[in-house]
Amino acid sequence: MNQNKNFKPFVPADKVMPEFTVTSIILGIILAVVFGGANAYLGLRVGMTVSASIPAAVISMGIIRKILRKDSILENNMVQTIGSAGESLAAGAIFTLPALFMWADENSSVAVPNFIEIAVIAICGGLLGVLFMVPLRTALIVEEHGVLPFPEGTACAEVLLAGESGGEKSKLVFSGLGISAIYKFIADGLCLFPSEVDWSVKPLKGAGFGLDVLPALAGVGYICGIKISGYMFAGGILAWFVLMPLIALFGGDMTIAPATKAISEMATAEIWSSYVRYIGAGAVAAGGIISLIKTLPTIVKTFSKAIKGFGHKEDSVLRTNRDLPMPVVLGGALLIAIIIWLMPVVPISLIGALIIVIFGFFFATVSSRMVGLVGSSNNPVSGMAIATLLIATTLLKVTGNTGYTGMASAICIGTVICIVAAMAGDTSQDLKTGYIVGATPMRQQIGELIGAVVSGLAIGGIMYLLNSAWGYGTTELPAAQASLMKLVVEGVMGDSLPWGLVFCGIGIAVAIEILGLPILPVAIGLYLPIHLSTPIFVGGTIRWYFENKKKCADEEERKSIIENGVLYSSGLIAGEGLIGIMLAIFAIIQFKDGTLADALNKGGILGNVGGVVFFIILLASLVFFTSRNSKKA
């Protein structure tokens, strides 16, 4: 099945344009670090990351076209290729590695993972993710063009093509970034109002409601849309208005493990942390595994295609058909596996290295195919990591690798696999963008490798910084996925999980699947505090309003409005993430009698009402910039 016979890229194969230049490499590296840091903060706070490809492309067009006065769509494409690697690698790392920091906090005899360990694990996972995608490119990107939509990759190509007529839309990203940065600094830097407002529901004991009045959450909701954000909010309603009141009603004065105090004496947050999050963990785990099972036919088909075409030579020397040579791919993957095994700083044995190679290519295939069908946002990377952890932890336990050493090894194996899956998905989206605009695949693949190395070096410092400022598993940084991975490993290794609650979550996930609803968004809403899913739902509602606005002249205008909102929301997310990193630095800098953050803190003088008012103003800015700029862009 070949759908590309009549396809012609924007830049013909016989045309040579600036592409892999010093400008594109440096700008791409900067954006990889920036978006990697921003998404690390976002993912640790709300449990999800946002694709950086389109914002990176828009910023690149604004800088290269408007400031440097250069005009090369292939340079812009290379910038987003390198820049988006930071987001993908950060996602894989933050979903697992914080578990090592949390174990160190719980046990003074356990050392915090050092910078070299984090960097080696992250870089190896990133490089493997790119290399494993290379033999899949022809089968997925070329032969199935027109069959697999690759939504983010196609959308990014459209943005780049639109940029050929001007880079005005970059103003939306920068406007969102600036407003978000100021807002975040007022909220969490000066602390003029609390960034989390909360109310108890007295008539319904055990129930509670609240929201984090922060720009990134509204931006995430807008980008996800009403369906995904609605499913998350539904999960929050199920937890905070159904399960928690039932626990309070039937629990009464009893003290039920894993809690150590009577349920009647617990605040709503304590009921959630002691019971509901385990139910949510079971639902998330079941959702990830069910998602994998449902895609098994696709997995087998793609895997067999990759194996059949593995040793074939290129049928053309056209620039747009050149991939990294297969000896480089095979040799590079083998070398990385050996490094993972032999590096003393990485607690992974030969068995672990073999698991990584086998499951790495397997899940790279899964991830690349999945993002082609449903996009990166719906890619079940967490499910792949959980499946890997269950198998890896069981094998390690059977072979005598128990205790903290075995658990740390399992987490490191899961981290590499998680990063492999995330990077393979990102690489496939970027290669799809390149295929449409006429980029050179081999140069894009080299750009991805550069982005993986740079982002791997940066993520270690970012994770140390965030841990020093707030700590993982705290209110500021819940690290939802990493906490779940930690629970899974501990449960398999030491039988410490409250399995009754976990199986309740599994039952809920099965019921959701029977109803035909997407499990993972609901499960994540069940697992996370409702304070996160509420503002996300509000952002999704704003997008729903614009999608159904009847005053739009035509469908093209409606599409332009939605795109403007996505760009502005991307700026909101990036701005909060960047200020979050800056505030983390302030939180560890000593200043007079405390830290610099303490000196800035004004004590929340405006209270909950101030937080709600500021959040309404922020939402008004989202509505304003989305509709106003739709006519100018």
What string of DSSP letters covers 329-382?
A: HHHHHHHHHHHHHH-TTS---HHHHHHHHHHHHHHHHHHHHHHHHH-GGG--HH
Distance CA 202, CA 208 (A): 8
Least confident of 40-44, 318-322, 602-606: 602-606
Query: Residue 594 has what pLDDT?
Result: 62
Query: Residue 234 has what pLDDT?
Result: 94
Residue 553 confidence (pLDDT) above 50: yes
Distance CA 166, CA 62 (A): 9
Distance CA 579, CA 41 (A): 10
Q: How many CA atoms lie within 13 A of 570 on its CB side?
A: 26
Query: Residue 588 has what pLDDT?
Result: 57
Confidence of residue 622 (pLDDT cuts 50, 70, 90): very high
Least confident of 24-28, 340-344, 507-511, 554-558: 554-558
Least confident of 20-34, 175-189, 475-489: 475-489
Query: Residue 613 has what pLDDT?
Result: 92
Tokens of 106: 């719980």
Tokens of 286: 């079941």
Q: How many CA atoms lie within 13 A of 65 on its CB side?
A: 23
Residue 167 confidence (pLDDT) above 50: yes
Q: Find where tokens 């009921």 sit.
A: 271
Tokens of 505: 């979550």
Query: Residue 272 has what pLDDT?
Result: 87
Query: Residue 552 has what pLDDT?
Result: 63
Query: Residue 460 has what pLDDT?
Result: 85
Distance CA 25, CA 85 (A): 12
Residues 6+ apart with CB under 8 A from 360: 128, 129, 132, 416, 417, 420
Query: Residue 28 has what pLDDT?
Result: 93
Mean pLDDT of 31-50: 79
Buried/exposed 476-495: b ≥16 CB within 10 Å, e otherwise = bbbbbbbbbbbbbbbbbbee
Residue 566 confidence (pLDDT) above 90: no
Query: Residue 603 has what pLDDT?
Result: 62
Residue 419 confidence (pLDDT) above 90: yes
The model's pLDDT over 76-121, given as tens digits with 9 standing for 90+, comes to 999 999 998 888 898 888 889 999 999 988 887 888 888 888 999 9
Torsion of CA 297, 298, 300, 301, to 10 degrees: 110
Residues 6+ apart with CB under 8 A from 468: 584, 587, 588
Greater confidence, 466 or 54? 466
How many helices (H) and strands (E) the chain has is answered by: 25, 4
Query: Residue 41 has what pLDDT?
Result: 82
Distance CA 219, CA 49 (A): 11
Residue 304 confidence (pLDDT) above 70: no
Distance CA 586, CA 579 (A): 10
Candidates 94, 131, 95, 87; CA nearest to 357 is: 131
Q: Beta partners for 595?
A: 590
DSSP string, 448-504: HHHHHHHHHHHHHHHHHHHHHHT-TTSSS---HHHHHHHHHHHHHHH--S-HHHHHH
Cβ atoms of 127 and 452 closer than 8 Å: yes
Confidence of residue 490 (pLDDT cuts 50, 70, 90): confident
pLDDT above 90: percentage of residues in the chain = 24
Least confident of 228-242, 342-356, 424-438: 342-356
Distance CA 331, CA 410 (A): 25
Torsion of CA 69, 75, 78, 83, to 10 degrees: 0
Cβ atoms of 544 and 316 closer than 8 Å: no
Cβ atoms of 623 and 222 closer than 8 Å: no
Candidates 98, 91, 95, 54; CA nearest to 76 is: 54
End-to-end CA distance of the chain: 39
Mean pLDDT of 60-89: 84
Vertex 580: Cα angle to 579 and 584 (nearest 5): 110
Helix (H) or strand (E) holding 209: strand 208-212
pLDDT above 70: percentage of residues in the chain = 86
Confidence of residue 532 (pLDDT cuts 50, 70, 90): confident
Q: Is-cis flag, bond preceding 258, omega within 30?
A: yes
- Listed in sequence order, the DSSP H helices in 147-276 are 151-163, 170-184, 215-238, 244-251, 268-271
Mean pLDDT of 487-494: 84
Highest mean pLDDT among 36-40, 532-536, 620-624: 620-624
Residues 6+ apart with CB under 8 A from 334: none
Distance CA 84, CA 385 (A): 21
Cβ atoms of 430 and 446 closer than 8 Å: no
Confidence of residue 575 (pLDDT cuts 50, 70, 90): confident
User: pTM (2 decimals)?
Assistant: 0.74
The model's pLDDT over 385-396, given as tens digits with 9 standing for 90+, comes to 777 888 888 888
Distance CA 456, CA 399 (A): 30
Q: Beta partners for 591?
A: 594
